[in-house]
A and B are shown apart, each in its own frame.
Chain A
Amino acid sequence: MSAVAQNSWQGVKAVSPLLPGIFPFGVIAGASAVELGLPTMQALGLSLFVFAGASQLVLVEMWDRQAPALILLATVLVVNLRFTMYSAALAPHFRGMSSRWKSVLAYLLTDQAYLLSIGRYEDKVQGTKWFYMGVALTLWIVWQAGTATGVFLGNTLPDSWSLDFAVPLSFLALLIPSLNSRGALIAAVTAGTLVLLTRLMPFNLGLIAATLAGVAAGMLTERRS
């Protein structure tokens, strides 16, 4: 096997244990989009253009609540701000590549692609992009298949299953592994408390304010210890 095929295959193998979780998450994201009133084409387009689970759910939820477009977009981008952190961490490994390759690699960037690749690249000056591609493209295919399934099955799922609850549950599922230090814990507690106190601020601005305060609290905790 060529090095390219071998590294890609390693990526596919590394991501495969996550797929039984990604597919249903995609189904739920697709179904929520349709249940909360997105037309079929927009629900499919959302997965294709944004391709970021948590923020897709935020967009759908805020659209349903008729939040103003600018506030909705600001919130989506705040949720996706973490990608800049992944982008910075992966940048050394993607140095020297063409703009076209960088665009493809960036479009496919997800929490899981970042986590698995950084784990693999750890000791290397520059890791191979093919491992990343194996992980990231597999995730993309499974996510698109999952959301499409959800979009087409969405309306047929019974209300008593409360599938809309999958939205906060998916945030909870993403929150837990992010609590990996004292600073992260303080950041989460601060933001979680402040969002309740700022709940009367208009248009979800409380969410952004609480997040920024949480980040500041996390940094202060780190500086102290």
Chain B
Amino acid sequence: MPQGLTLWLVILVAGVGTFVLRLSFIVLLEKIKEPEAMRRSLKYVPPAVMAALVASSILVNDNQLFVSLDNHRLTAALIAGLVGWRTKSLLWTILTGLIALFALTSL
């Protein structure tokens, strides 16, 4: 299959799958009440998945652990994390990280 077509297929399936996840309980809970255990487990998905994504993209480089002062992305992420924690702002977290990395790599 040509690349462009495969990509369209991937996007469509991802879109339909995401829509089904969004619609899931809006439809399922029309008549019944949600099981407690399910809701309890789902609330830990966001912190777990986001932490895993952050750790793997910042601390791993070519399948090697990269924890060192030379890892500018790590330093920039720590600065951005601090700003994000203080400001609770998506925008400021991203901007600070980008500016910090730009400054660190230009030094």
Contacts and interface: CB of A to CB of B under 8 A. Distances in A.
Nearest to A223: B40
Interface residues of B, number: 72
Nearest to A88: B25
Interface in B52-82: 52-60, 63, 65, 73, 76-77, 80-81
Q: What is the predominant secondary structure among interface residues of chain A facing chain B?
A: helix
B94 A169 contact: yes
A192 B18 contact: no
Interface centre among B25, B53, B60, B77 (most CB of A within 10 A): B53
29 contacts: A18-B90, A25-B91, A42-B4, A42-B11, A49-B11, A59-B14, A73-B13, A79-B53, A82-B49, A83-B22, A85-B39, A85-B46, A86-B22, A87-B22, A91-B29, A95-B30, A162-B105, A166-B97, A170-B93, A173-B80, A173-B93, A175-B46, A183-B44, A184-B47, A191-B47, A191-B52, A195-B55, A211-B45, A214-B47
B90 A170 contact: yes
A172 B45 contact: no
Interface of A: 18, 20-22, 24-25, 28, 38-39, 42, 45-46, 48-52, 54-55, 58-59, 61, 63, 69, 72-73, 76-92, 94-96, 102-103, 105-107, 109, 160-163, 165-179, 183-185, 187-196, 199-200, 206-207, 210-215, 217-219, 222
A107 B14 contact: no
Contacts of B58: 168
B11 A59 contact: yes
Contacts of B54: 168, 171-172, 175, 192
A87 B23 contact: yes
Nearest to A200: B63
Contacts of A80: 17-18, 21
Nearest to A81: B45
A188 B10 contact: no
A199 to B, nearest CB: 5
Contacts, number: 273
B57 to A, nearest CB: 4
Contacts of A82: 42, 45-46, 49
Given A83-B21, A191-B52, 12 more contacts: A77-B21, A79-B49, A82-B49, A83-B18, A85-B45, A168-B54, A169-B93, A171-B53, A173-B89, A177-B88, A184-B46, A199-B56
A186 to B, nearest CB: 9
A24 B98 CA distance: 12
Nearest to B96: A169
B40 A90 contact: no
Contact of A196 (B17, B55, B89): B55
Given A77-B21, A83-B18, A187 B60 contact: no
